[in-house]
Chain A
Amino acid sequence: MRLRLSTDSIRNASIERVEDLSGQALSSCYQCGRCSAGCPVVDEMDLIPNEVIRLLQFGQIKKVLRSKTIWICASCMQCSARCPKGVEFSSICDALRAMVLRMRLATPAVDAGNLSRVMVSKAPQMGVVSALRKLLNG
């Protein structure tokens, strides 16, 4: 992927917001890829976890907020558990979802409004409530 970078675009207000909301320092990531290696749903993602972080390190917030990845993440926290630098990608992912949902910064790449009715009527309550809160509420 080719990116055109400038010093002002690398560190912008949205990137600082991601750091604040997630409580994570993006610059700590040294791109080892362990987060992506441990992710159970990585095959479904358009940007894998360490790519999301790399793009954020370069100030590319729009590309990240438009990605499917943030909606596909199952919040299993394995990426965070495996990171040798203590970066919690799952928290970054939560923050990115919240930014889209609260500030309408992008249209969700996955239609979370279209949750399966059958599942809602059958799945355990905590599964339904957590899906609603993670994907629709922010």
Chain B
Amino acid sequence: MKIPYYPGCTLHERALDFDMASRECANALGVELEELPVWTCCGAVFPLTTDSVMDILAGVRNLAYASRMGDKVVTLCSFCYNVLKRSNKVIREDEEKREKANLFLKADTDERAEMESYLEQDYVGQVEVLHYIEMLRDVVGFDKVAKSLKTSLKGLRVAPYYGCMLLRPKKEMEFDDPERPTIFEDFLETLGCDVVDFPMKAECCGGFQIVRDEETAIACSQTVLSSAIKRDADLIITTCPLCLYNLDRKQKEMAKRVKGFTKIPVIYFTQLLGIALGIDEEHLDFSDNYVDPRPVLAGKKLV
């Protein structure tokens, strides 16, 4: 089965490990992530103001590209997911913005796409935006995932970190309960892990503020980490490259600042899935992680 896939800039560059692990896992589950032949940055943030049509175009253009390939598009980065899903909702519900956006799309020609206009019919929100985890649950099915597992993760204590962008705003994202989400818990149970519930699982890691003021963002990340550590987690999983950056790479600074700081590995959820599916460690690539997850995994005889 092929499913159109929008990687977004980060998975194309600085989170290649996430892209590779996710493709490998999909293959092992009989799904081919078919990358859109033409795509651009989604803009990374949903427009700041209600008067902006220009700012939803990047997202909508990618959805229009996807509409030429099928009725779904899968993505992994939580920022891309947030932007694509919310832009799609605007197109579905706001007639004036839909018309304006389509005028732009029709006027646009794209040589790379080798078409005068990449749109034969109006883009009206016909594509369903799915997060990869939703694809696993709703398209592949967690039961099929369970049947495909090669290695049991029993005894591994994993804390699922959701962050902000998957869950909020709830009425636009419609992803899960924003205060008590469960999709990653269900996923981890499918893998046989011991799920660690921790109070800060849907709190902010500091997000893009890391670029402006490291201190502010590190304080947020440290709160999240210590909450998982207090619940005796062996590792944390995430689906957001920015969360991973703040939570993992910044442990270097945290260790310098806090005496007796306990490090904890943070990995992408598909890297963990890859282990359970018996995918070669080389294809999961932990080389960029500041806190190497391999000692913890080796302790449980998983690598």
Interface residues of B in 1-45 (CB under 8 A from A): 8-10, 13-15, 41, 43-45
Kindly state whether residue A115 has any CB partner on chain B within 8 Å.
yes
What B residues does A129 contact at CB under 8 A?
9, 41, 43-45
Interface residues of B in 134-169 (CB under 8 A from A): 164, 167-169
B246 to chain A, nearest CB (A): 8
**Digit string of A103-138 for contact with B (CB within 8 Å is 1, else 0)?**
000000010100110011011111111110111001
What A residues does B210 contact at CB under 8 A?
119, 123, 127, 131
B205 to chain A, nearest CB (A): 9
Kindly state whether residue B207 has any CB partner on chain A within 8 Å.
yes
A interface, how many residues as a size bin?
35 or more
B168 & A22 in contact (Cβ 8 Å cutoff): no
A127 & B216 in contact (Cβ 8 Å cutoff): no
**Digit string of A56-79 for contact with B (CB within 8 Å is 1, else 0)?**
000000000000000110111110
A127 to B15, CA, bound (A): 12
A131 to B212, CA, bound (A): 7
B168 & A124 in contact (Cβ 8 Å cutoff): no
What B residues does A112 contact at CB under 8 A?
212
Kindly state whether residue A84 has any CB partner on chain B within 8 Å.
no
B228 to chain A, nearest CB (A): 15
What B residues does A74 contact at CB under 8 A?
204, 206-209, 216-217, 220
| Number of interface residues, chain B, beta carbon within 8 A | 45
A48 to B45, CA, bound (A): 23
What A residues does B44 contact at CB under 8 A?
125-126, 129-130, 133
What A residues does B80 contact at CB under 8 A?
126
New A-B contacts (17) at CB < 8 Å, excluding given A41-B219, A126-B242, A127-B210: A21-B50, A40-B220, A41-B206, A74-B209, A94-B49, A97-B48, A112-B212, A116-B212, A116-B214, A123-B242, A126-B79, A129-B45, A131-B208, A131-B210, A134-B48, A134-B208, A135-B212
- List residues of A whose CB falls within 8 A of some B CB: 20-23, 40-41, 44, 71-72, 74-78, 80-81, 88, 94-95, 97-98, 110, 112, 115-116, 119-120, 122-131, 133-135, 138
- List residues of B whose CB falls within 8 A of some A CB: 8-10, 13-15, 41, 43-45, 48-51, 77, 79-80, 164, 167-170, 178-179, 203-204, 206-214, 216-217, 219-220, 223, 241-242, 244-245, 249
Pairs A–B under 8 Å by Cβ, sample size 18: A20-B51, A21-B50, A23-B50, A76-B168, A76-B203, A76-B204, A80-B168, A81-B168, A94-B48, A123-B210, A124-B14, A125-B44, A126-B79, A130-B44, A131-B208, A134-B48, A135-B208, A138-B48
